[in-house]
Amino acid sequence: VKRVTTNTLVKMKAAGEKISMLTAYDFSFARIMDQAGIDVILVGDSASNVMAGHETTLPITLDQMIYHAASVIRGIKRCLVVVDLPFGTYQSNSEIALASAIRIMKETGAHAIKMEGGAEVIESVKKIVSAGIPVMGHLGLTPQSIYKFGTYSVRAQEKAEADKLKADAKLLQEAGCFALVLEKIPALLAKEVAESLHIPVIGIGAGKYCDGQVLVMHDMLGINTEFKPKFLRQYLNLFELTTEAVKSYIHDVKSGDFPNEKEQY
């Protein structure tokens, strides 16, 4: 198998080939996605929400992210695996940021890390890149700053915030990021950023002009049914399918239908 690398993604952008990315947090789903041909798996700190049931991404720890990432790595052969640096493990200074990134690389076997923010984290990005660790940026709606924003509404609709986002995108590219996630911003702003950079821009709720797309697996598989933003396309209703399966199982156990003669020793 030909592995997807950070260079592959930059080449895909140059060739106009769209990049597919999904989140995953465990061995079994990572294996399905890898065998289905996904380009990139993001071990997102959205694990805090969809795996652990927290309201925000803030509580998840570095140890917990490492557990998820190591599990994902054991399931894949081909795709690139990117791991989120969780809240509190890189914001204070670049030495701590590098130490966190090194723990992820050493203890999981993942291929790259992702961190939220622009100018505020640029020294950390440079330090981590200098250590040989590929970094993916993340601008727009950055959930680790949710209490600063106050809402999960569309970001950068006003000129000042759009200008800062464009400047941050340039800074991240110059600092050596191999790709950039743009979350929940106007499609035309994402288009402008994608056209101004040579590194790929991967969007979530950032429109059709991005070089690639990412969704949270629990949202696109319909495991989460409460979260229905306009940008989400749901490919399966796993909530309903699982409910039906569980109800059938309960029925079969209660009725004595399961197990039958062929299902016993």
What angle, 0 to 180 degrees and rounded to 10, lies between the N-to-C axes of helices 62-73 and 27-36? Answer: 50
Whether 183 sits among the annotated catalytic residues: the reply is yes
Write the DSSP symbol of residue 111: S
Write the DSSP symbol of residue 3: P
Question: Which residue number, 84 or 168, has a Cβ lying nearer to ligand KIV?
Answer: 84
> Does 106 appear as a known binding residue?
no
Nearest C-alpha neighbor of 47 from the set 208, 186, 166, 224: 224
The interface region with ligand KIV, picked from 40-48, 87-95, 117-125, 253-261 by CB under 6 A, is 40-48
Residues 171 to 200 in contact with ligand KIV, rule: CB under 6 A: 181, 183
Distances from the Cα of 152 to the Cα of 141, 180, 236, angstroms: 7, 19, 24
| From the list ligand KIV, Na ion, none, partner contacted by residue 177 (C-beta under 5 to 8 A by kind) | none
**Total chain residues near Na ion (CB under 5 A):** 3
Nearest C-alpha neighbor of 113 from the set 141, 78, 140, 86: 86
How many angstroms separate the CA atoms of 62 and 107, rounded? 11
> Does 163 appear as a known binding residue?
no
State in angstroms the smallest separation of the CB of 256 from ligand KIV: 44
State in angstroms the smallest separation of the CB of 262 from ligand KIV: 43
The interface region with ligand KIV, picked from 8-16, 37-45, 226-234, 244-252 by CB under 6 A, is 37-45
> Does 252 appear as a known binding residue?
no
CB atoms within 10 A of CB 186: 17
Q: State the residue number with the nearest CB to ligand KIV.
A: 44
Q: What is the Cα Rg of the chain in Å?
A: 20
Amino acid (one-letter) located at 235: Y
Interface pick for ligand KIV out of 112, 214, 221, 238 (rule CB under 6 A)? 214
Asked if 216 touches ligand KIV (CB under 6 A), the answer is yes
Residues 21 to 50 in contact with Na ion, rule: CB under 5 A: 44-45
For 50, the enclosing helix (H) or strand (E) is helix 47-50
Choosing from 183, 240, 244, 263, the catalytic residue is: 183
> Does 84 appear as a known binding residue?
yes
Amino acid (one-letter) located at 255: S
Nearest C-alpha neighbor of 198 from the set 167, 182, 219, 174: 174
Binding site members for 3-methyl-2-oxobutanoate: 45-46, 84, 114
Active-site annotation, residues: 183
Binding site members for Mg(2+): 45, 84, 116
Residues that bind Na ion (CB under 5 A): 44-45, 84
Residues that bind ligand KIV (CB under 6 A): 23, 42, 44-46, 84, 181, 183, 204, 214, 216
